[in-house]
Structure 1
Amino acid sequence: MNKNAKVSEKTLKKVQDAMDQLGYRPNAIAQSLASNRSNSVGILVSELHGPFYGSMLSGIEAELRGSQKHAIIAAGHSEEETEKEGIEFLISRRCDALILHVEAVSDEYLVDLVKNEVPIVLINRFIPAIADNCISLNNELGGYLAAKAILEQGHKEVAYISGPNWKMDASDRLKGHKKALQEFNVTYNPKLTYEGDYQEVGGSDGLEYLLNSKQPFTAVICANDEMASGAMTFAREHRISIPKELSIIGFDNIILAQYIYPKLTTIDYPIKQMGQMAARWILKNTFKQTDLEVKNVFEPKLITRDSILAH
């Protein structure tokens, strides 16, 4: 039944037939009590909707399934108490390890959590004190590359639609954006920055705000592709030609980016591969698959398509 002993095909068939006849199913809870292993991994993500989180979860699940481990998923909704409740729920379900995509709980809370018995790996978050438990992206470099791509096309008046500034990835991307502006001797104009929400509506509201500000700009850099999509929709509705009149660049390289019109120039965020790596960290450190190699820091790269044009 456990598929871990040498049994003849004839005996295996007899046991399987008896199980089928009796309607027997192994008791996973009893097995976990006996073995001190549930063969399940808890995953806490910020949201369950959207292509970004779908890619992350599919990467994690595929890697776990290949080693006959199962995923239990909860959502934290970027709220501190909800994230803590989700973590406690997953621990109470006797998960062997946790993969956490959390944004609201503090670094101190996570450092203390890592000291507990349940192994934990963080995804899309870097904390120096527990660097070995982090699978992260260099978001500052990503913000820099997006701005550099626009500036190299000759744009000097550049608007920016950021993510929520309290989120570390959003603040790091803005930091990289400012670094590129400084390198190209372009003054950062806070009036050309709008704090969005990483949703499509944040992009459309952001572009409307920027246009109403009466500050001139020839390009808009969006901190993720969903907001870039919202900005592009607003531009089309107001007969602003992209990229002829306005260049737009995104961040994430979600599948939507290559199908919207014009195809979106963006920064590749290899979130599926990062999800796979987080699962691999668990397999190596919890289930002792020591032959696996783990990469902790990923680098973004520019994906050039049709939404930006030389100015």
Structure 2
Amino acid sequence: MATIKDVAAAAGVSVATVSRVVNNGPKVSAKNRDLVKKVMLELGYRPNANARALVTQTNPTLGLVFSELTDPFFATLAGGVEKVTRNNNIQLLISNGLVSAESEKRAIETLLEQRCQALVVHSKALSNQALIDYAEAVPALVLINRYIPEIAHRCVWLDNQAGGEAAARHLLSLGHKNIACITSSYDIEDPRLRLEGVKSVLSEEGMPLAEHAIASSDPNEIGGEIAAQNLLARGLDFTALIVYNDSMASGAITVLCDNGYRVPEDVSVIGFDDVLLSRYLRPKLTTMRYPIEMMAMEAAEMSLALASGESVAPIHKYVPTLVKRDSVSQPKD
């Protein structure tokens, strides 16, 4: 593999001149610049990104921190960010936060060590103050799926409580009175807010949600199975089930069907996120759409704009919308 010294020798210029060409530096004649680029192409020389970062103190990259590599929700998030970086000829670096404060901190620090010029961070475990400190130190850091009032203009977030409220109202409008919930066991704000939304609507209608009608587990297909099994084991008489996300909903539907319940004839099921999976379940899943790809693209564009010294809009709030499919119907008489 050719080195910068090889390029300099072949072009008959100094290593410093090659370095200036690589980093678009001044004090290089047009003739020498063209010559060096020609030799670089002939030799197949590719500049070392880390070496270039030492000169510019930045890297033409956008760093993304998120939680679960295998979760379809986060795959969609990463896909939205990648579209923006690809359109802007920016390299995307990804670091996994694993819903742990220490891991999230390490993920952010790793990307900063790579001198990323922009950061999009999905953090659920770090404290508000820790993220405020990072935002003050990194002008182009943008939070996704997190709202912190002190840095609201750097947050792209979803109103999770409004999503829970909308799901509950939809079931009530169809005549459901016995509603159960499956939620995530992760100690983060999303499941709490969605559950608060459900509880507030049911309480307004004089049907408070009992604690034994709530089951929690890991926010994946297996967790949905476990939570649904726990609800059935309690002998509950429910006609509708609100589930934390679509992955858990798919596990819950499997358990219901395995135990002789028809969906939606016996039990209606409504999920959250509207990931690709929801369209291919049988029955197709009614869910609350989380526009995560759109949000991810906005967060990436914001981060790149901030990295360029541009201003951004002050509010970046999204609201979930109901997607009606086949897993919800009126309760049997």
TM-score (norm 2): 0.86
What is the deviation of 1:23?
2.5
The answer (yes or no) to whether the contact 1:281–1:294 under 8 Å persists in 2 is: no
- Give runs of aligned pairs for residues 292-311 of structure 1, distance below 5 A: 296-311=316-331
Q: Which has the larger radius of gyration?
A: 2
The answer (yes or no) to whether the contact 2:152–2:314 under 8 Å persists in 1 is: no
- Give runs of aligned pairs for residues 1-311 of structure 1, distance below 5 A: 17-117=38-138, 119-164=140-185, 166-288=187-309, 296-311=316-331
For residues 325 and 204 of structure 2, the distance between their equivalents in structure 1, rounded to whole angstroms, comes to 24
The answer (yes or no) to whether the contact 1:277–1:295 under 8 Å persists in 2 is: no
For residues 234 and 172 of structure 1, the distance between their equivalents in structure 2, rounded to whole angstroms, comes to 26
Deviates more, 1:132-141 or 1:34-43: 34-43
What is the deviation of 1:12?
9.4
For residues 245 and 66 of structure 1, the distance between their equivalents in structure 2, rounded to whole angstroms, comes to 48
- Mark the CA change 1:95 to 1:148 in structure 2 (over 3 Å): closer, same or farther: same
What is the deviation of 1:3?
11
For residues 201 and 148 of structure 1, the distance between their equivalents in structure 2, rounded to whole angstroms, comes to 28
Question: CA deviation digits over 1:262-299, x for unaligned, max 9?
Answer: 00000000000111011011111112456x76861111
The answer (yes or no) to whether the contact 2:186–2:218 under 8 Å persists in 1 is: no
What is the deviation of 1:129?
1.4
What is the deviation of 1:39?
0.9
- Mark the CA change 1:2 to 1:268 in structure 2 (over 3 Å): closer, same or farther: farther
The answer (yes or no) to whether the contact 2:146–2:155 under 8 Å persists in 1 is: yes
- Could you say what secondary structure the match of 2:157 adopts? strand
Q: Structure 2: which amino acid aligns with 1:144?
A: E
- Could you say what secondary structure the match of 1:250 adopts? strand
Count of residues paired in the alignment: 306
Report the aligned-residue RMSD: 2.2
Q: What are structure 1's unaligned runs of at least 5 residues? A: none
- Mark the CA change 1:304 to 1:58 in structure 2 (over 3 Å): closer, same or farther: same
The answer (yes or no) to whether the contact 2:139–2:306 under 8 Å persists in 1 is: no
Give structure 1 regions of 4+ aligned residues with deviation exceeding 4 angstroms: 1-5, 10-17, 292-295
Deviates more, 1:146-155 or 1:221-230: 146-155
TM-score (norm 1): 0.92
Q: What are structure 2's unaligned runs of at least 5 residues? A: 1-20, 26-30
What is the deviation of 1:16?
5.4
Deviates more, 1:100-109 or 1:136-145: 100-109
The answer (yes or no) to whether the contact 2:283–2:327 under 8 Å persists in 1 is: yes
For residues 31 and 168 of structure 1, the distance between their equivalents in structure 2, rounded to whole angstroms, comes to 40
- Could you say what secondary structure the match of 2:69 adopts? coil
